[in-house]
């Protein structure tokens, strides 16, 4: 995703809430969005999102999409 496109999308995304549990660092929104777009473009199942692409897990991307959808 180009920097120009990201600069248009980023302000539309809700701010992440406080982290409630310790563990892995949060996947950046830009990477999660790229993972979401990859799944939607290719039609693969969330669980088969390749880790080596650097988008986070399919579950991470799915949860982020659900969170953004819930936030409106």
* Tens digits of residue pLDDT in 13-34: 998 878 777 888 889 999 999 9
For position 67, what pLDDT does the model report? 93
What pLDDT is attached to residue 69? Answer: 94
CB-side neighbour CA atoms (13 Å) of 10:
11
What's the pLDDT score for residue 72?
Answer: 83
Give me the pLDDT at residue 38, please.
97
pTM of the entire structure? 0.87
Q: What is the pLDDT of residues 41-60, one digit of tens each?
A: 999 999 999 999 999 999 99
Q: CB atoms < 10 A from the CB of 2, how many?
A: 7
H helix and E strand count, the chain: 3, 0
Q: In the prediction, which pLDDT does 44 show?
A: 96
């Amino acid at each position: 995703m180009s920097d120009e496109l990201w600069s248009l999308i980023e302000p539309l995304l809700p701010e992440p809430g406080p982290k409630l549990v310790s563990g892995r660092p949060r996947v950046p929104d830009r990477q999660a969005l790229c993972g979401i777009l990859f799944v939607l473009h290719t039609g693969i199942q969330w669980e088969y999102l390749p880790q080596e692409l650097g988008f986070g897990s399919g579950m991470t991307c799915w949860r982020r999409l659900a969170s953004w959808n819930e936030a409106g």
